[in-house]
Structure 1
Amino acid sequence: MEALSADEIRRSFVNLSKSQVKAITLPPKFTELPWESLDYLGWRDGKAPNRGYLVVRRDDGVTGIGVTTQASGAARRFAGLCDLCNTAHHVSDVALFAARRAGTAGREGNTVGMYMCADLACSLYIRGLKELDVPQGETATPEVRAERLATRLETFVHRVCG
């Protein structure tokens, strides 16, 4: 992914109000992000841990989506699977995120949900740049996994924007 400025990120959100966009806390060490290893920019808000953000570069520009989740419960000894990158985690490291739909549908309260890596770091997991606690049975290359991630992410963005 090509690097984005803070202004580009803030202008990209399709499902947040102006006041919600102003309240966004950018990722820690924003200027040091590994942009070349990211398929999208995803992070949890340090000031509001139940909020997260996904910023995706698409053919028609940059699209940002605000998501929310509930605080995770007690850790359990089961595995959970991220619907975006198909990475297995301890179930407490996968969270159900809901995104308010863009436009009228969102103002009417309609949302789209998906189970995702709780830290929204799919790009780093599929490339082996972030350590996993659950053994993986994945045999596909990081490039193939990145293509799958891009397809699933585009489907999610389309559902939010649609």
Structure 2
Amino acid sequence: MADWEAVQASLVAHNQDHLLKFLPELDEGRKAELYADIRGVDFARLGRYFAKARQSLSNCQEKKDELLKPLDSSIYGSTARDTAHSTRWADTGLRVISENKVAVLLLAGGQGTRLGVNYPKGMYDVDLPSGKTLYQLQAERIVKLQSLAASQSDDKDVTIPW
């Protein structure tokens, strides 16, 4: 019990005592897990990091505000209302793809442990009628873009690395 009292005192000292809010509802096994988890955290160190981050944020707030300005309308647009620009952008995109100047970086969001699998989420079967994974769908889109770009250029060897 003395150990729990020391943990509680440490949590109170670091304004983290809310972590014990549901302690009375836990069985002994869960209490032991919680105790081990809490004992593994250096709250003093975290507090220093948090204070440093807050201080850094307050120090640079004025500087950021001074640098923030509205974007010039020449560098953004909407494809919803401007088919001429959409067509030009699509043509430009296919041209640079055909020149092998485009690559794809596919960020998949990490492991699927919350889904109950030990492989990337992009490989998870999401029960599509086709049975395809998210990775496969993206790969097919990339292959289609390569094909479209190749059909609009003389060079038939178009590759989008990914």
**TM superposition score normalised by structure 2:** 0.24
Higher RCO structure, 1 or 2 (CA under 8 Å, sep 6+): 1
**TM superposition score normalised by structure 1:** 0.24
Greater percentage in strand: 1
Greater percentage in helix: 2
The higher radius of gyration belongs to 2
